[in-house]
Amino acid sequence: MKKIIIFASGSGSNAENIISYFSANKEVVFPCILSNKADAYVKVRAEKLGVPFKYFTKEEWKNGDILRFLKEENADLIVLAGFLLKVPEDIIKAFPNKIINIHPSLLPKHGGKGMYGMHVHEAVVADKDKESGISIHYVNENLDEGAIIFQAKVEVKPTDTPEDVAHNVHALEYEYFPKVIESLL
């Protein structure tokens, strides 16, 4: 039995996609979805999917409560799916090469502090990039700098808006993120 714990800060569409992908696989369980936002829409998705939702405070994130929880759950893989906080070093050290993140660009381009969601897609268009995509990577102590596990690309046309890029990148996320998770298990 493999346990995957998902962290999400927003709508949770990737979390829902991942859980749905594994719904017929009895060897994979999701003990909970954790979020730093009590009112994140991912809570609604978790309830719909029958997966427990756990909100945590910044204090619990920093003081070791979440680390203790993760150790008690004995997570095989920790998946950041639209999670916007930097992971503390004590959690990274406790779960080496067991924490992965998905980023909506071809890292190392458009990564780091402040580069999430539409900010990334706006930067891709502003820089007139000819391609964008997704990067699935291990989490280390530096934002978006962990070893890359997988990348997929999509063409960016000169007429594309940030919304167009976002739409195309989301399609890659939904297609590949669950498959990469499955390969890591």
Catalytic member of 103, 110, 121, 137:
103
Contact 46, 37 (CB under 8 A): no
Contact 19, 42 (CB under 8 A): no
Q: So what's the pLDDT on residue 2?
A: 96
Active site residue 103: yes
> What is the residue-level pLDDT of the chain in tens, covering all 185 positions?
999 999 999 999 999 999 999 999 999 999 999 999 999 999 999 999 999 999 999 999 999 999 999 999 999 999 999 998 999 999 999 999 999 999 999 999 999 999 999 999 999 999 999 999 999 999 999 999 999 999 999 999 999 999 999 999 999 999 999 999 999 99
Tell me the H-state helices in the chain: 13-21, 42-49, 58-62, 65-73, 89-94, 118-126, 162-184
**Assigned fold of 2-96:** Rossmann fold (3.40.50)
Contact 92, 78 (CB under 8 A): no
For residue range 114-144, list pLDDT tens digits in order: 999 999 999 999 999 999 999 999 999 999 9
Contact 121, 163 (CB under 8 A): yes
Q: So what's the pLDDT on residue 132?
A: 98
Q: Whole-prediction pTM value?
A: 0.95
- Greatest alpha-carbon span in the chain: 50
Q: So what's the pLDDT on residue 92?
A: 96
Q: So what's the pLDDT on residue 4?
A: 98
